[in-house]
Amino acid sequence: MDHDNLRSAQGEEEGDEAFGAEDRERTRHVPGVPSIGGPLRPHEFEGQVVFITGLARGQGRSHAYGFASLGADIAGIDRCDDLATVPYPLANDADLDGTAAMVRKLGRRAVVEVGDVRDRVRLAAVVERVMDELGRIDVVVANAGIFSVGAAETLSPESWAEVIDVNLGGVWNTVQACLPAMISGNRGGSIVMTSSIGGLRGLLQCAHYVASKHGVLGLVEALANELGSYGIRVNAVCPTNVNTPMIHNVANYATFRPDLSHPTSADMVEPAKDMHLLATPWIEPEDVTAAVTWLASRAARFVTGIALPIDAGATTKVVN
């Protein structure tokens, strides 16, 4: 990450002075709220632990790198095995090892395990290990998710159940497993859930996915209300197409180009661009990471209960 534009040490001191004693007194009663806001600093998350699900590759790996580069130690899980209903290969053990190595190369600690977010017992065991080795959880990024396609009249019960159980149930399981550590720490904290533009609007050929991502936004609003008294903020990111295997697979290409027998990634580009106000067919994982780290940072210290689109204008675009 490029931190050249971050505030200098001199600027930090000036910001501290500008934020006076009366301002600090007004926020002192809020657990976990830092004394000042401002832009992200190079060591924004120094001393903190960030728990990320689905961190072996894609958005999850990008988030792990982003937080570690800003000073955080990283913990989390990834399934590292395929699912029969998902039309693309999922991450594997080597991917997870690669994420851990990337974090450690930055001089940060990594406690990562193979685990399925649907498995509450496994999640509890991993959280226990994280607390034993790292001693705290400050930020939770409930990122693990899957995607599959199917028309409403033919979508299998298995496809429906797996998407709902991973994308919605897994988010709930993750948050509930981490909450005791966050609350007992009495330092506040941040929870960021991965929704989608499919959590803000309907999409074709994936009713189960849209339902799961709408459900995530319901959790955000409910938990933001419930956890605010602990100084724990709860938000969601809602990305458009992200340049990962979740969109780069034959089943998804066919939803963009049903007129072709064997569509490819190149065939998807123009219709994917047409979704957006900005001229891109998809965004990069790092674009989502920038939003996630901001939401978890002091710069967003009074931001809670929101669904932040990173969508190149997809949800705003008027289609005549």
The tens digit of pLDDT for each residue in 98-117 reads 999 999 999 999 999 999 99
Asked if residues 48 and 24 have their Cβ atoms less than 8 Å apart, the reply is no
The tens digit of pLDDT for each residue in 145-170 reads 999 999 999 999 999 999 999 999 99
Residue 222 has pLDDT above 60, yes or no: yes
Give the residue numbers marked as catalytic: 209
Angle at 309 between CA 98 and CA 252, to 5 degrees: 65
Query: What is the rounded distance in angstroms from the CA atom of residue 199 to the CA atom of residue 258?
Result: 24
The residue-averaged pLDDT of 32-42 equals: 62
Give the Cβ contact number of residue 47 at 10 Å. 10
Domain spanning 43-310: which CATH class is it, in words?
alpha beta
pLDDT at position 10, please? 34
pLDDT at position 13, please? 35
The whole model's pTM is what? 0.88
Q: Which two tokens stand for residue 10?
A: 């001199």
Q: How many residues does the chain have?
A: 320
Query: What is the rounded distance in angstroms from the CA atom of residue 136 to the CA atom of residue 178?
Result: 10
Q: Which amino acid is at 300?
A: A
